[in-house]
């Protein structure tokens, strides 16, 4: 179907994008995930338009108000209010900004550093490779959240430090993945050809080899994106991430913990927000893998 | 083989006896593991509940459920004319507990009392450093090493304390946990065996309950001390089930797995009150929570700035949001249930407009400050972060930008003592002995600057009144001095006084005789449980 609407430039061959969409759209879960992700993205970017209240405005008259559909609810506070009278819906909407921002920064940081290091290790091999990979093994030997906690404890609590810590913990995955792909590609004929043609080391590394290793990296980046959101929420929950009054989801969850019996909605909604976002991104990652992994194509 | 059969017979006999007596067991869901079992070494309430209020007793005791002093191991005492010599007559025939690990051969005498104090006071005492890093924080905090000149034995049952200066709250101080009386005979035995650290692990004293076993982070077991000088307790076995999560404690209590559970979440209290199997004991805690400015730093060195900030914050909102209304806005640094509370003092009324004007008049513009929020929940401040967020929002309305910072608890306590500390600290205090001196001098006196005086506030006028009151023995005279001191405190406003909380303890209806102690301790002497 999509092969029919092929790109006009390369007649006979579907465009890369169309081919990608062909495989991606076969996975229904992935499409749903993508749709949810786009909705969250739009809501996050246009937060001031969607949020009915300011996320830090405290209405002292309405502490722990129930959601609007329950008895005693107020329609201006759709999901109720928290312990200091802030609108939960507005906080969740603004919180989406933080979560996506965290995901983006962490993935960018760990992908860039991970790919660079992995490329160097894979391309040069030998002693460089050994030293780099052993360091990565050491980092991987720690439970990731625990290592992130230690790093934050050293750097001091705060959103920025949490992001740095999570990036560092995530980085070895990218290093290993890049190195493995580079090792496989390095010996291929097109690389040899370009070497023979006199291309410099940099050119071979970044323009010849790297583009051919991107598939698995993209998949891993999506998964790391959701893992970063989860880790940031966990750090926030432990009081080591975002500091008040930042409406970060994990922090919201931690602050509301004591009300789990008295006012369950205060705990439920941030939890659901984390669950839905992470699930959507993971489903999307699944679809990406289907579309980008050559081994799974036309299976 | 023969030995084995005797052993078998003995075990059988013991188990038969145990079932025949149908032992009464009370389970207390305690909030944390004790730091150790030597109450002189620590400051945590959970340690005092687990060690000093069960295993040990003191020369004088607080009345159960009150702050009045009554005789304990000392039958009577006399004070010399100049107020510098206290002579205690010890009770005769007080028995130490017999345990698996030690069998005492003699009754309590003056040597035990001297040992208990000298180990904390004298650096050359062999027991002064028997635990790594032993700081004897309470003894030091109460100024005992400088105050007490000597502890002397007059005869076997008479001890004399000689002080360097008169000290009015001295008797009350001796009822505190760190003044628990240990067994010198047991300590000598441990020293001889080279197992000194055991004193802090396997306690032995004259208190109502005998220590049986401790599994770290899980359970502490006690049994009634049969020869307790106050009579054998009605409950046979006492179990501390260590349960750190407040929600879990409440669930266990509801399920009947424990009979008493302290520190419930404020949000759960209304629900607990509805439970027909439980009684919620509520009482005003002997406590205060406060925000201490650093009065050595500009612009917080000006009283008018501090008062303006106090006016900017709606304290009732904090009581409502953090304590679910179970508290009372504080205006004085001592709680209203304490003698000498000055009810005539007017609190700074919540008035953001006036606060804004006052700040402008003081020449303070675009003020940025840090608010330190405690990372833990304490009876006087259940959720400091939430309180800090409320303050932050209120201060923003008068143009003050506040940043909330927090540290790990031990670090928080240490860093907040620093004189060069940046920011105002949320903290609080629960009274130890029911004496105003324990609040006014301990927390606001000049000696405490760089220590418990988190405001780093040294006001000559205030300090003189408090110090005078300390050496005066007439209570009416002391009341007058303390009331005046409170007026000065309010005028100078080194703190924003936040709240006096109500302490709630849910207790199973089966339990009788348990009391909500204003001093924040949990005692099980005189407690009974229905089958």
pLDDT digits (tens, 9 = 90+) for A176-210: 999 999 998 888 899 999 989 988 888 988 888 88
Does pLDDT of A93 surpass 90? yes
Whether B388 and chain A come into contact, CB under 8 Å, resolves to: yes
Q: Which of B267, B390, B405 sits opposite A259 (nearest CB)?
A: B267
Query: Does residue B375 belong to the interface with chain A, where contact is any CB pair within 8 Å?
Result: yes
Confidence of residue B16 (pLDDT cuts 50, 70, 90): very low
Q: Are the C-beta atoms of A164 and A218 separated by less than 8 Å?
A: no
Reported as a single tens digit per residue, the pLDDT across B163-214 is 999 998 899 999 999 999 999 999 999 999 999 999 999 999 999 999 999 9
Q: What is the predicted pLDDT for the residue at A297?
A: 59
Enumerate the residues of chain A whose CB falls inside 8 A of the CB of residue B317: 60
Q: B393, B402, B410: which to substitute to probe chain A, counting the most A Cβ within 10 Å?
A: B393
The 3-state DSSP class for residue B303 equals helix
Rounded distance between C-alpha atoms, residue A210 and residue B458, angstroms: 67
Cβ <8 Å between B321 and A63: yes
Q: What is the DSSP letter of A243?
A: P
The confidence score (pLDDT) of residue B295 equals 94
**Where are the domains positioned within chain B?**
25-242+510-529, 287-502
Give A22 to chain B, closest Cα distance, Å: 50
**Percentage of chain A exceeding pLDDT 90:** 36
Q: How far apart are CA B87 and CA A8, in angstroms?
A: 107
Closest by Cα among A90, A102, A100, A79 to A56: A90
Phi, psi of B51 (to 5 degrees): -115, -65
Average pLDDT over residues B452-481: 91
**How far does the CA of residue B408 sit from the closest CA of chain A (Å)?**
9
DSSP per-residue letters across A182-212:
HHHHHTSHHHHHHHHTT--HHIIIIIIIGGG
Contacts for B114 with CB less than 8 Å, ≥ 6 apart: B151, B152, B153, B159, B184
Domain B25-242+510-529, CATH: 3.90.76.10
Average of per-residue pLDDT across B442-448: 89
What single-letter DSSP state applies at residue A13?
A: S
Tell me which chain A residues have a C-beta less than 8 angstroms from the C-beta of B392.
244-245
The mean pLDDT of B30-40, rounded to a whole number, is 91
* Spatial separation of the C-alpha atoms in residues B504 and B93, rounded to whole Å: 38
Structure tokens at A43: 């809501």
Q: Using a CB-CB distance cutoff of 8 angstroms, which residues of chain B are in contact with residue A258?
A: 246-247, 265-267, 383
Nearest Cα of chain B lies from the Cα of A260 at a distance, in angstroms, of 9
Statement: residue B56 has pLDDT above 80: yes
Q: Nearest CA of chain A to the CA of B375: how many Å?
A: 8
Q: Tell me B260's DSSP state.
A: B
**ipTM beyond 0.85?**
no
- Contact at 8 Å (CB) between B322 and B385? no
Contact B386 A84 (CB under 8 A): yes
Per-residue confidence (pLDDT) for residue B508, from 0 to 100: 94
B359, HSE (Cβ side, Cα atoms, 13 Å): 26
Range from A40-49, B46-55, B264-273, B492-501 carrying the lowest mean pLDDT: B264-273
Average pLDDT over residues B131-144: 84
- Check if the beta carbon of residue B228 is closer than 8 Å to that of residue B208: yes
3-state secondary structure B447-465: HHECCCECCCCCCHHHHHH
A-chain residues near B386 (CB < 8 A): 83-84, 255
A to B CB pairs, distance under 8 Å: 60
Q: For residue A13, what pLDDT is reported?
A: 66
B203-228: burial string, b at 16+ Cβ within 10 Å, e else: bbbbbbbbbeebeeeeebbbbbbeeb
- For residue A163, the tally of other CB atoms under 10 A from its CB is 26
Query: Nearest-CA distance from A99 to chain B in Å?
Result: 21
CB contact under 8 A, B405 and A243: yes
What is chain B's Cα-based Rg? 25
Distance from CA of A153 to the nearest CA of B (A): 9
* pLDDT, tens digit, 9 for 90 and up, residues A7-42: 445 456 677 788 888 888 888 999 999 999 999 999
Whether residue B234 is predicted with pLDDT greater than 70 in this model: the reply is yes
- pLDDT score of A82: 87
* Higher pLDDT pick, B158 / A219: B158
d(CA B445, CA B202): 37
pLDDT at A214: 85
pLDDT for res A12? 60
% of chain B surpassing 70 pLDDT: 96
> What is the predicted pLDDT for the residue at B127?
92
Considering only the beta carbons, identify the residue of A56, A83, A243 that sits closest to B321. A83
Q: Which CATH superfamily is domain B287-502 in?
A: Dipeptide-binding Protein; Domain 3 (3.10.105.10)
User: What pLDDT, on the 0 to 100 scale, is given for residue A233?
Assistant: 86
Q: Where are the domains positioned within chain A?
A: 27-298
CB–CB of A258 and B247 under 8 A?
yes
The count of other CB atoms within 10 Å of the CB of residue A141 is 9
Which residue of B267, B389, B390 is in closest CB contact with A258?
Answer: B267
Chain A residues close to B390, C-beta within 8 Å: 58, 84
Mean pLDDT, all residues of chain B: 90
Chain A: residue whose CA lies nearest to B374: A239
Closest CA to B66 of B427, B431, B465: B431
Evaluate whether A114 touches A106 at the Cβ level (below 8 Å). no
Q: Are B469 and B168 in contact (CB under 8 A)?
A: yes
| Helix intervals (H) in A156-263 | 159-186, 189-196, 201-202, 214-237, 249-256
Question: Are B320 and A63 inside 8 Å of each other by CB?
Answer: yes
- Minimum CA–CA partner of B377 in chain A: A258
B371 touches chain A (CB under 8 A): no
Q: Which pLDDT band holds residue A273 (cuts at 50, 70, 90)? A: very high
pTM score, whole prediction = 0.77
Q: Contacts of residue A262 in chain B, CB cutoff 8 Å?
A: 265, 267-268, 270-271
Q: Which of residues 268-287 of B touch A (CB under 8 A)?
A: 268, 270-271
Chain B residues with CB under 8 Å of A251 CB are none
Cα separations (Å) of A177 from A117, A121, A133, A170, A181? Answer: 11, 11, 11, 12, 6
Query: What span, in angstroms and rounded, lies between the C-alpha atoms of A225 and A106?
Result: 7
Give the gap in angstroms from C-alpha B29 to the nearest C-alpha of chain A.
Answer: 18
Query: Is pLDDT above 60 for A5?
Result: no
Nearest to B268 among A56, A58, A262 (CB): A262
Whether the per-residue pLDDT at A157 is higher than 90: the answer is no
Q: Which range has the worst mean pLDDT, A226-240, B109-123, B281-295, B511-525?
A: A226-240
> A27-298: which CATH number, 1.10.150.20, 3.40.250.10, 3.30.300.160, 1.10.3720.10?
1.10.3720.10
- Rounded average pLDDT over B489-507: 93
Mean pLDDT, residues B269-295 taken together: 92
Instruction: Using the predicted structure, report yes or no on whether residue A57 has a pLDDT greater than 90.
Output: no
CB-CB: which of A58, A244, A259 is closest to B385?
A: A244
Cα four-point dihedral sign B145, B149, B152, B154: negative
Candidate from B9-13, B317-321, B334-338, B496-500 with smallest mean pLDDT: B9-13
pLDDT reading at B18 higher than 50:
no
pLDDT of residue B22: 67
> Is pLDDT of A126 > 70?
yes
* pLDDT class of B14 with cuts at 50, 70, 90: very low
């Amino acid at each position: 179907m999509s092969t029919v609407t092929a790109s006009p430039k390369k007649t006979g061959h579907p465009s890369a994008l169309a081919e990608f969409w062909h495989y991606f759209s076969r996975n229904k879960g992935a499409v749903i995930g993508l749709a949810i992700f786009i909705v969250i993205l739009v809501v996050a970017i246009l937060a001031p338009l969607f949020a009915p209240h300011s996320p830090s405005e405290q209405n002292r008259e309405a502490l722990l108000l129930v959601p609007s559909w329950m008895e005693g609810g107020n329609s201006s506070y759709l999901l109720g209010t928290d312990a200091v009278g802030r609108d939960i819906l507005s906080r969740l909407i603004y919180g989406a900004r933080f979560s996506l921002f965290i995901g983006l920064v962490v993935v960018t940081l760990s992908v860039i550093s991970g790919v660079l290091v992995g490329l160097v290790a894979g391309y040069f091999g030998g002693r460089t490779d050994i030293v780099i990979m052993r360091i990565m093994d050491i980092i991987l030997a720690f439970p990731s959240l625990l290592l992130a906690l230690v790093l934050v404890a050293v750097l001091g609590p705060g959103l920025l430090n949490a992001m740095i810590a999570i990036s560092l913990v995530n980085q070895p995955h990218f290093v290993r993945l890049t190195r493995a792909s580079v090792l496989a590609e390095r010996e291929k004929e097109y690389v040899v050809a370009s070497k023979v043609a006199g291309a410099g080391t940099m050119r071979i590394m970044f323009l010849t080899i790297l583009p051919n290793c991107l598939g698995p990296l993209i998949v891993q980046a999506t998964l790391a994106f959701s893992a970063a959101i989860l880790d940031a929420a966990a750090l926030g929950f432990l009081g080591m991430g975002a500091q008040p009054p930042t409406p970060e989801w994990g922090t919201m969850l931690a602050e509301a913990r004591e009300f789990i019996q008295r006012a369950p909605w205060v705990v439920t909604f941030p939890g659901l927000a984390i669950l839905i976002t992470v699930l959507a991104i993971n489903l999307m990652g699944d679809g990406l893998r289907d579309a980008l992994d050559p081994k799974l194509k036309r299976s | 083989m023969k030995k084995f059969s005797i052993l078998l017979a003995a075990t059988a006999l013991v188990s038969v006896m145990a079932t025949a007596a149908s032992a009464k067991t009370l389970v207390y869901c305690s909030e944390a593991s004790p730091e150790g079992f030597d109450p002189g070494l620590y400051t945590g309430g959970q340690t005092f509940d687990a060690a000093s209020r069960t295993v040990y007793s003191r020369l004088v005791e607080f009345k159960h459920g009150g702050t009045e002093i009554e005789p304990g191991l000392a039958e009577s005492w006399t004070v010399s004319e100049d107020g510098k010599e206290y002579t205690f007559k010890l009770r005769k025939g007080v028995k130490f507990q017999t345990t698996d690990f030690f069998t005492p051969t003699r009754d309590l005498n003056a040597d035990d009392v001297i040992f208990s104090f000298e180990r904390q006071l004298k650096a050359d005492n062999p027991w002064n450093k028997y635990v790594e890093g032993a700081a004897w924080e309470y003894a030091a905090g109460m100024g005992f090493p400088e105050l007490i000149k000597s502890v002397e034995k007059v005869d076997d049952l008479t001890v004399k304390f000689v002080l360097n200066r008169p000290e009015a709250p001295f008797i009350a101080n001796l009822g505190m946990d760190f003044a628990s009386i240990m067994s010198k005979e047991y300590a000598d035995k441990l020293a001889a065996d080279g197992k000194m650290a055991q004193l802090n692990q396997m306690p032995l004293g004259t208190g109502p309950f005998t220590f049986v076993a401790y599994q770290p982070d899980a359970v502490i077991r006690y049994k009634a001390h049969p020869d307790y000088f106050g009579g054998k307790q009605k409950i046979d076995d006492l179990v501390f089930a260590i349960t750190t999560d407040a929600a879990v404690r409440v669930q266990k209590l509801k399920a009947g797995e424990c009979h008493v559970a302290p520190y419930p979440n404020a949000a759960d209290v209304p629900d607990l009150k509805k439970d027909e199997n439980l009684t919620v004991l509520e009482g005003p805690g002997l406590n205060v929570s406060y925000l201490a400015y650093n009065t050595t730093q500009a612009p917080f060195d000006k009283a008018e700035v501090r008062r303006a900030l106090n006016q900017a914050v709606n304290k009732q909102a904090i009581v409502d949001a953090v304590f679910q209304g179970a508290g009372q806005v504080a205006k004085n640094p001592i709680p209203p249930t304490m003698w000498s509370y000055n009810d005539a003092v007017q609190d700074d009324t919540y008035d953001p407009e006036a606060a804004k004007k006052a700040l402008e008049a003081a020449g303070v513009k675009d003020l940025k400050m840090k608010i330190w929020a405690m990372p833990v929940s304490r009876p006087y401040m259940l959720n400091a972060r939430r309180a800090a967020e409320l303050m932050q929002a209120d201060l923003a309305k008068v143009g003050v930008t506040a940043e909330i910072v927090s540290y790990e608890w031990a670090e928080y306590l240490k860093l907040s003592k620093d004189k060069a500390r940046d920011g105002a600290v949320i903290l609080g205090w629960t009274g130890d002995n029911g004496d105003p001196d324990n609040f006014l001098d301990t927390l606001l006196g000049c000696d405490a600057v760089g220590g418990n005086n988190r405001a780093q506030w040294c006001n000559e006028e205030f300090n003189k009144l408090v110090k005078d009151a300390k050496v005066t023995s007439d209570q009416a005279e002391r009341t007058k001095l303390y009331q005046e001191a409170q007026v000065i405190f309010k005028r100078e406003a080194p703190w924003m006084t936040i709240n006096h909380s109500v302490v709630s303890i849910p207790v199973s209806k089966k339990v009788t005789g348990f009391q909500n102690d204003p001093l924040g301790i949990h005692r099980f002497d005189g407690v009974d449980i229905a089958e």
